[in-house]
Amino acid sequence: MKPTIILNSLLLSFCLFQATSSLAQGSLEELAPEEYFDFWLGSWELTWEDSDGTLARGTNQIERILNQRVIREQFNAVSGAYEGYTGESYSVYQAASGTWKQTWVDNSGGYLDFTGEFDGDRRMFTRTALNPEGEQSHQRMVFYDITDDSFTWDWELSVDDGETWELRWRIQYERSDNGEDSPDSGS
Mean pLDDT of 122-145: 94
Q: Average pLDDT, whole number, for the chain? A: 85
pLDDT tens column, 42-77:
999 999 999 999 999 999 999 999 999 999 999 999
Give SS3 for 5.
helix
Q: Which ranges in the chain belong to alpha helices (H)?
A: 3-24
Q: With a cut of 50, say whether residue 12 has pLDDT above it.
A: no
pLDDT tens column, 68-124:
999 999 999 999 999 999 999 999 999 999 999 999 999 999 999 999 999 988 999
Question: At a CB cut-off of 8 Å and minimum separation 6, what does 119 contact?
Answer: none
Which percentage of the chain shows pLDDT scores above 70? 81
Question: What CA–CA distance (Å, rounded) separates 78 from 57?
Answer: 6
Question: At a CB cut-off of 8 Å and minimum separation 6, what does 165 contact?
Answer: 140, 156, 157, 158
At residue 26, the pLDDT reads 56
At residue 68, the pLDDT reads 97
Question: At a CB cut-off of 8 Å and minimum separation 6, what does 110 contact?
Answer: 87, 104
At residue 124, the pLDDT reads 97
